A and B are shown apart, each in its own frame.
Chain A
Amino acid sequence: MREFLQLAGILTLVSVLSGWALSYTYTITKPIIEVKRYEKKVAAIAEVLPPFNNQPDKEAVKIPGKQGEAVEFYVGKKNGTPTGVAFRSTPVGYGGKISLMIGVTPEGKVYGLRVLEQNETPGLGNKATKDAYLHQFLSKDLTSSRWEVKKRGGDFDQVTAATISSRAITKGIREGLTLYQAHAEKILKGN
């Protein structure tokens, strides 16, 4: 019985100390992590939008997406007139979800693209997430092109030996554009 209490006591003591150390680290790092994440989001929005002078991240319009999750649309405005809209799309590639930031003009033409997160194969699939590949989508819209890779009868190049990644990117942009077109009026009007 004494031994039992001693063992339990020591384990409890170690756990309590560990818990204290963790909560201390967490309180210190949490605000820094949040600021970094926020800065990254704002930078990505600014990169894919035409010049604007409002704060798009503060005026997000939420629209329910295909799977019911809310997609935030960030409208960039210059002196009150919308210049473009940025939003996220997360297609599934070869190595899991790819997080894309898409910027479009109010009419729905692709203006800027930026991959925020991806786990595609280095040297193969991740080529489809680089600017050299993404360049071909710029200033295209839903009616100007067939949104598939050439191998599947579409208008866009695929990266050799990385069809899955290339198709995921193409599909992600297409679905994003479709969602935007369906709600463009509401998004541009704002909340």
Chain B
Amino acid sequence: MKNQMATRFRFGDEIFKGISRENPTFRLVLGMCPSLAISTSVINALGMGVAATFVLLGSNIMVSLIRNFTPAKVRIPVFIIIISTFVTIADLSLEAFTPDLHKALGIFIPLIVVNCIILARAEAFASREPVFYSIADALGMGAGFTLALTLIASIREALGNGTVLGYPVFGAHFDPAVIMILAPGAFLTIGLLIGLMNHLGRKP
């Protein structure tokens, strides 16, 4: 009974870790390229987050399943093959079922292959831990990445376009600051948010 409690506790903790203290965007500062490029609108951020979470979940499960048969010397190529397989599956499925979202995300779907979060979790977590916890890790990291992207995108879309998810938030008199949806706005937002997170998470 006690053991079961511990298991359940750890599963939740592995999820929570990805959202807060090991948040891929704000804490580990991984996957910056898509975070900068895709966070121009909330819908793009959500789409990217969900697609990356799907790939992360698939690759973490597979990597964890074969962790005892994978020789250390070829583990990186094996991880890359697994990751790119799931990315291509996500790419094709998005194009077939949500063509508009697929068009908006464009090149960033294939680029999930080189998203450091995925390979980093395969290497640092899934290749050492059982499937159960690897699933928790993928869900947590995916959720953390999605939440971070959505937060950045909400700020940029609101200030740069006056909308959130396409709905006006400031009324007709608001004059949007276009710089916020251009590249400098991405750097400003992410930089200030990382600074804020560091400030809040500072140990006394």
Interface residues on A, range: 20 to 34
Q: Which of A32, A40, A117 has the most CB of B within 10 A?
A: A32
Across the interface, which residues of A come within 8 angstroms of B81, CB to CB? Answer: 11, 14-15, 18
Contact for A25 among B93, B161, B182, CB less than 8 A = B93
Task: Classify the secondary structure of B's interface with A.
Answer: helix
- A7-35 CB contacts (< 8 Å) to partner B: 7, 10-11, 14-15, 18, 21-22, 25-26, 28-29, 32-33
Binding site for B on A (CB under 8 A): 3, 6-7, 10-11, 14-15, 18, 21-22, 25-26, 28-29, 32-33, 36-37, 40, 117, 119, 121-124
**C-alpha gap A6/B72 in the complex (Å):** 12
Q: Can you name the residue of chain B whose Cβ is closest to the Cβ of A161?
A: B178
Q: Check if B96 sits within 8 Å of A123, measured CB to CB.
A: no
**C-alpha gap A32/B97 in the complex (Å):** 8
Beyond A18-B85, A117-B103, is A33–B92 a contact (Cβ under 8 Å)?
yes
**C-alpha gap A19/B85 in the complex (Å):** 8
**C-alpha gap A13/B84 in the complex (Å):** 15
Beyond A6-B71, A22-B89, A25-B92, is A14–B181 a contact (Cβ under 8 Å)?
no
Interface residues on B, range: 20 to 34
**C-alpha gap A39/B82 in the complex (Å):** 33
> 11 A-B residue contacts at CB 8 Å?
A3-B71, A10-B69, A14-B82, A22-B88, A28-B96, A29-B95, A33-B92, A123-B161, A123-B176, A123-B181, A123-B182
